[in-house]
Amino acid sequence: MRIVLQFGIGLLFGLGLIVAGMSDPAKVLNFLDLAGIATGMWDASLAFVLGAAVIVTAIGYRLVLRRPRPVLATEFHLPHKTRVEWPVIVGPAIFGLGWGLVGLCPGPAFVALGTGSTAAVAFVGAMLAGMIVARRLALSSLRLGTA
């Protein structure tokens, strides 16, 4: 039953990305191209999508954290560190560069795989390779005691 629920949640998420236009790299790039504001070519529609996502998340966190435990896990896994570390700065910077260059981020890239897009295949391959490298770097720094 758990796998069916997880599949349904993923399907709903993917459908939301498609309906919002987040799986269309051209739409995302038109949103990220702020130079288009002056020419009237800027696509502001994703600002509403992102704003709605922030509102839903803020409300969702308040409601979910009132529960004794998550629905699909035994406990909540929340960050306890308050100090900002370099990986927290570098990771989002790389994420933003990739999003701005290609117009895809992880969720929409997996949705776009279903369309047979070669750009999505290349993006997901590069993303997975980057995840492997990041994990190996993190593990080696733990072994060396530099983390």
Q: How far is CA 71 from CA 1, 65, 75, 107, 132, in A?
A: 12, 11, 9, 22, 29
* Long-range interactions of 91-98: CB distance < 8 A, separation 24+: 91/134, 94/130, 98/123, 98/126, 98/127
The whole-chain average pLDDT of the chain stands at: 89
The domain limits of the chain are: 2-144
pLDDT band for position 66 (50/70/90)? very high
Q: What is the pLDDT of residues 55-65, one digit of tens each?
A: 999 999 999 99
Q: What is the pLDDT of residues 126-139, one digit of tens each?
A: 999 989 988 888 88
Please give the share of the chain, as a percent, with pLDDT higher than 90: 45
Q: What is the pLDDT of residues 78-136, one digit of tens each?
A: 888 888 888 888 888 988 888 888 899 898 898 888 888 888 899 999 999 989 988 88
Q: Is the pLDDT of residue 147 over 60?
A: no
Q: What is the pLDDT of residue 50?
A: 92
